[in-house]
Amino acid sequence: MKRFLALLLALCLLVLAGCGQQADAAYRQISQEEAKEMMDAGDAVVLDVREQSEYDEGHIPGAVLLPVGSIDEDTAAAVIPEKSATVLVYCRSGNRSKTAAAALAELGYTDVCEFGGINTWPYEIEQ
């Protein structure tokens, strides 16, 4: 019985340690106003994670397209070479951008900010 309890305790500690590692790979959620201020200040990669056809219909000026389904180590590095770069992520409504931001954080990007969707973007959009 003692052996079983010790094993159970060790397993619980391993699970908790694994959860702690997940917290390191995180992104911040910011408001669209904060995102706009960061864009205006420069030094941020604005990442549109929608599909090409959506991007072509209208996107935030200067945004780079990287569809959420294509994000991996190579495609992310091609668009965002520096893992310490500030990355501002958006999509149509805010669902895909959360998935993409989490994926980038898991790949080691350390300053990822998700700010929702273009549907509610109150600023300029270009085609």
- The set of catalytic residues is 91
**Tokens at 48, concatenated:** 């549109």
Tokens 């931001």, residue? Answer: 101
User: Which residues are within 8 A (CB) of 3 and not within 5 positions of it... i.e. 6 or more apart?
Assistant: none
Question: Of all helices (H) and strands (E), which one includes residue 28?
Answer: strand 28-29
